[in-house]
């Protein structure tokens, strides 16, 4: 797939360790047309974005509003955003944040005919669901 530098690459979870490494790799390959999406709050994860080049920073709750009218400007989504707290007890929050948000993003990407990379989903498909969830967070991912 040819990447165009005049279209956006949207990286969700961009302030996390893996997401920020993806942003760095994109930067190293000459891309700065990146929209970093994350929920910074009071966490220190903003430090992972120091020294990275990106076009815009969007809060995860503002992404779908920001996307309106930009359908032809989106080259790809790299979806890494999720609650990664393995002891999170709020199942409703996990289902909304990790499962429904991922589905909504996938549906959006399909409607605009763009690329969506969801590494966790690919891993689960590769494993063919031979592993069963033992925590609430793994259960929400297992349902993808």
- Give me the residue spans of the domains in the chain: 8-142
- Rounded Cα distance, 33 and 93, in Å: 31
Q: What gap in Å lies between CA 144 and CA 131, rounded to an integer?
A: 14
pTM over 0.95: no
Q: Which residues contact 27 (CB under 8 A, 6 or more apart)?
A: 34, 52, 53
What distance in Å separates the CA atoms of residue 110 and residue 126, rounded to the nearest whole number? 21
Structure confidence by residue, pLDDT tens digits, 75-123: 989 998 888 888 888 989 988 888 889 889 989 988 888 877 765 554 4
Residue 48 scores a pLDDT above 80: yes
What tokens appear for 132 in the block? 């069963």
Question: In the prediction, which pLDDT does 134 show?
Answer: 46
Which CATH architecture is the domain 8-142 placed in?
3-Layer(aba) Sandwich (3.40)
């Amino acid at each position: 797939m040819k990447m165009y530098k005049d279209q956006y690459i949207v990286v969700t979870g961009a302030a996390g360790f893996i997401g920020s490494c993806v942003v760095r790799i994109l930067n190293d390959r000459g891309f700065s047309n990146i929209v970093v999406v994350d929920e910074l709050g009071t966490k220190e994860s903003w430090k992972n974005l120091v020294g990275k080049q990106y076009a815009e920073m969007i809060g995860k709750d503002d992404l779908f509003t920001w996307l309106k009218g930009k359908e032809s400007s989106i080259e790809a989504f790299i979806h890494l955003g999720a609650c990664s707290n393995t002891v999170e007890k709020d199942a409703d929050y996990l289902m909304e944040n990790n499962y429904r948000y991922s589905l909504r993003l996938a549906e959006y990407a399909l409607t605009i005919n763009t690329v969506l990379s969801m590494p966790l989903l690919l891993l689960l498909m590769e494993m063919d669901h031979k592993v069963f969830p033992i925590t609430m967070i793994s259960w929400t991912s297992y349902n993808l």
